[in-house]
């Protein structure tokens, strides 16, 4: 009877408790109490990685999940700590659309041990429209540990006076141009983790006109290790010519191509190692000779950009060998036309098949990145539709804490930027959401082939330069990974 009492207590909360001798009476039709499962809108869990690799000034961040109904009313909200799972519940007709918002609040480091509201420097909001009742796993950058050790790599018997040189590990990379060579020796001092081995890629390229000698190596180095290599015995990079189409003949707004080729070992989860790039304007010779190291990477990535007056297209493709890289670059054919550039009532039409879109806008209180003390960014995501028509409620006052001192509304946001994505690796709406919010999964937007079209407002330069920059070191990473 004790178990029966427990069941009744949990099923008919606030309706009173029966004694052991009371009969159980079913609720009449129309007065049934809503069960817990009926009120669960979705579940959010968070991984162990708590910080993004922005800069040393960011000390901490918090993550909050908010659900709103189709009219913008907040249905549920909860802070999400690392290594936790939270079910967000509300009495709501789940046949109607509801939206999921992730609010990241960044706190700047300070010499004072006490928290101060002026140390809150940035909000970043990701909104996913019309979500489903399932689990959403949120995780940030991979924790690669701390590079507190050093190793040394030397190229001996270098026959040149100056070199361009670079090395890369999972902790970052270093590139030097016109590096003077002393005693025919080039030294790389490399930051590594204290325990275990570190994969290190290094190359050097001569600057002698007509004698472009590009040599490279891949080494597994440990803390305190010194490796010396004879430069003249290192393998030479293979020279590959890639041609680019004449886009200016069909579109007078075309400006330039930029492209780069990188190597990556996806099984080791290492960073991309970019070893050659190009910048070609419409009036230039539309070809480029790339120097590519062979047989040291699992895959090669070709990243290409075509820039026009009011939009940019990106493509990223992967190849197993250098010979697989096409000799003619083919830009993306995605295109869009924006008919209403208001953030709260955004409208656009898209030409071509694609998988999902986002549009983003931001605010900062300074004229440039150096003078900015408060920054707010809001990105809206949804699955593909030929006609994009989104009406939003201004929820900024709900996202930010009043004490943080932002004092802004949606009217303070800059010109929205629209991005359209297409990838053979995206199989569903849930698939692209997971790739955006879980940067630690094996398949994410950094390691799959894709096409992207991005709107650009050349008049409002804040769209690219002011609101969506973190600092010079990480702005490209942010553009590629956080506006996706």
Model confidence over 283-335: pLDDT tens digits? Answer: 888 999 998 999 889 899 999 999 999 999 999 999 999 999 999 999 999 99
Going by C-beta distance under 8 Å and a sequence separation of 6 or more, which residues neighbour residue 424?
449
pTM of structure: 0.82
State yes or no: pLDDT of 23 exceeds 60.
no
Instruction: Report residue 13's pLDDT band, with 50, 70 and 90 as the boundaries.
Output: very low
Instruction: Report residue 115's pLDDT band, with 50, 70 and 90 as the boundaries.
Output: low
φ and ψ of 168, to 5 deg: -145, 140
Dump strand ranges (E) for 325-442: 335-340, 345-351, 356-364, 375-383, 387-391, 417-422
For Cα atoms 262, 162, 233, give the angle at the middle one, nearest 5 degrees.
65
Average pLDDT over residues 356-367: 90
pLDDT score of 38:
85
Instruction: Report residue 98's pLDDT band, with 50, 70 and 90 as the boundaries.
Output: very high
Going by C-beta distance under 8 Å and a sequence separation of 6 or more, which residues neighbour residue 65?
44, 77, 78, 80, 86, 88, 100, 101, 102, 103, 136, 138
Average pLDDT over residues 334-363: 95
Beta-bridge partner residues of 174: 167
pLDDT score of 309:
93
CB of 127 closer than 8 Å to CB of 88: no
Kindly state the helix (H) or strand (E) to which residue 396 belongs, with its residue range. helix 396-399
pLDDT score of 236:
92
State yes or no: pLDDT of 411 exceeds 60.
yes
- Which SS3 state, helix, strand or coil, does residue 228 take? strand
Question: In terms of pLDDT, which residue wins out, 174 or 384?
Answer: 384
State yes or no: pLDDT of 478 exceeds 90.
no
Task: Give me the percent of the chain exceeding a pLDDT of 90.
Answer: 49
Domain at 238-324: CATH code: 2.60.40
Instruction: Report residue 276's pLDDT band, with 50, 70 and 90 as the boundaries.
Output: confident
Average pLDDT over residues 44-52: 75
State yes or no: pLDDT of 136 exceeds 90.
yes
Instruction: Report residue 482's pLDDT band, with 50, 70 and 90 as the boundaries.
Output: very low
CB of 229 closer than 8 Å to CB of 155: yes
CB of 199 closer than 8 Å to CB of 250: no
Model confidence over 208-242: pLDDT tens digits? Answer: 766 778 999 999 999 999 999 999 999 999 999 99
Instruction: Report residue 7's pLDDT band, with 50, 70 and 90 as the boundaries.
Output: very low
pLDDT score of 466:
43
Average pLDDT over residues 117-121: 73
Model confidence over 421-471: pLDDT tens digits? Answer: 999 999 999 999 998 998 766 677 678 899 999 999 865 544 444 444 433
pLDDT score of 377:
94
Mean residue pLDDT across the chain:
81
* Radius of gyration (C-alpha) of the chain in whole angstroms: 27
Beta-bridge partner residues of 294: none
pLDDT score of 475:
35
State yes or no: pLDDT of 349 exceeds 80.
yes
Give the domain ranges of the chain: 2-33, 41-141+334-481, 149-233, 238-324
Residue 97: alpha-carbon gap to chain centroid: 26
Q: What are the helix (H) ranges across 124-204?
A: none
Average pLDDT over residues 254-269: 85
Going by C-beta distance under 8 Å and a sequence separation of 6 or more, which residues neighbour residue 267?
298
Question: In terms of pLDDT, which residue wins out, 418 or 295?
Answer: 418
Highest mean pLDDT among 68-77, 111-120, 201-210, 289-298: 68-77
Q: Which residues in 325-351 are b (16+ Cβ under 10 Å) and which e?
A: beeebebbebebebeebebbebebebe
Instruction: Report residue 249's pLDDT band, with 50, 70 and 90 as the boundaries.
Output: confident
Average pLDDT over residues 69-88: 94
Nearest to 115 by CA among 105, 125, 123, 124: 105
For the 149-233 domain, the top CATH level (class) is mainly beta
């Amino acid at each position: 009877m004790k178990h029966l009492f427990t069941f009744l207590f949990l099923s008919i909360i606030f309706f009173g408790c029966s004694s052991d001798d009371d009969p159980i009476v079913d609720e009449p039709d129309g007065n049934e109490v809503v069960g817990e499962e009926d009120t669960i809108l979705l579940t959010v869990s968070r991984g162990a990685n708590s910080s993004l690799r922005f800069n040393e000034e960011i000390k901490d961040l918090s993550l909050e999940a908010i659900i709103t109904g189709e009219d913008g009313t907040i249905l549920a909200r909860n802070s999400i700590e690392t290594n936790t799972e939270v079910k967000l519940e509300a009495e709501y007709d789940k046949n109607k659309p509801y939206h999921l918002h992730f609010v990241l609040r960044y706190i700047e480091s300070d010499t004072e041990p006490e928290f101060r509201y002026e140390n809150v420097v940035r909000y970043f909001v990701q909104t996913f429209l019309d979500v489903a009742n399932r689990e959403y796993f949120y995780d940030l950058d991979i924790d690669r540990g701390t590079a507190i050790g050093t190793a040394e790599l030397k190229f001996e018997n270098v026959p040149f006076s100056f070199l361009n040189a670079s090395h890369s590990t999972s902790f970052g990379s270093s590139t030097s141009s016109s590096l003077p060579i002393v005693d025919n020796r080039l030294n790389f001092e490399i930051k590594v983790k204290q325990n275990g081995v570190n994969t290190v890629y290094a190359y050097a390229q001569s600057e002698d006109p007509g004698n472009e000698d590009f040599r490279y190596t891949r080494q597994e180095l440990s803390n305190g290790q010194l490796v010396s290599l004879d430069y003249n015995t290192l393998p030479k990079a293979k020279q590959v010519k890639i041609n680019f189409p004449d886009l200016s003949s069909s579109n007078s707004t075309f400006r330039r191509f930029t492209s780069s080729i990188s190597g990556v070992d996806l099984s080791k989860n290492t960073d991309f190692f970019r070893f050659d790039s190009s910048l070609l304007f419409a009036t230039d010779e539309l070809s480029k000779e790339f120097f590519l190291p062979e047989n040291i990477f699992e895959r090669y990535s070709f990243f290409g950009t075509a820039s026009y007056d009011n939009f940019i297209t990106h493509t990223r493709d992967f190849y197993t060998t250098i010979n697989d890289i096409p000799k003619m670059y083919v830009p993306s054919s995605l295109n869009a036309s924006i008919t209403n550039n208001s953030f709260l009532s955004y409208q656009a039409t898209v030409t071509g098949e694609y998988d999902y879109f986002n549009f983003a806008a931001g605010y900062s209180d300074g004229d440039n990145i150096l003078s900015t003390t408060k920054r707010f960014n809001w990105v809206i995501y949804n699955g593909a539709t030929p006609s994009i028509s989104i009406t939003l409620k201004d929820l900024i006052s709900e996202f930010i804490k009043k004490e943080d001192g932002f004092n802004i509304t949606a009217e303070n946001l800059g010109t929205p930027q629209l991005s359209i994505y297409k990838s053979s690796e995206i199989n569903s709406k849930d698939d692209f959401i997971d790739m955006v919010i879980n940067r630690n999964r094996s398949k994410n937007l950094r390691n799959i082939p894709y096409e992207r079209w991005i709107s650009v407002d050349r008049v409002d330069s804040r769209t690219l330069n002011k609101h969506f920059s973190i600092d010079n070191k990480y702005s490209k990473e942010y553009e590629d990974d956080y506006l996706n």
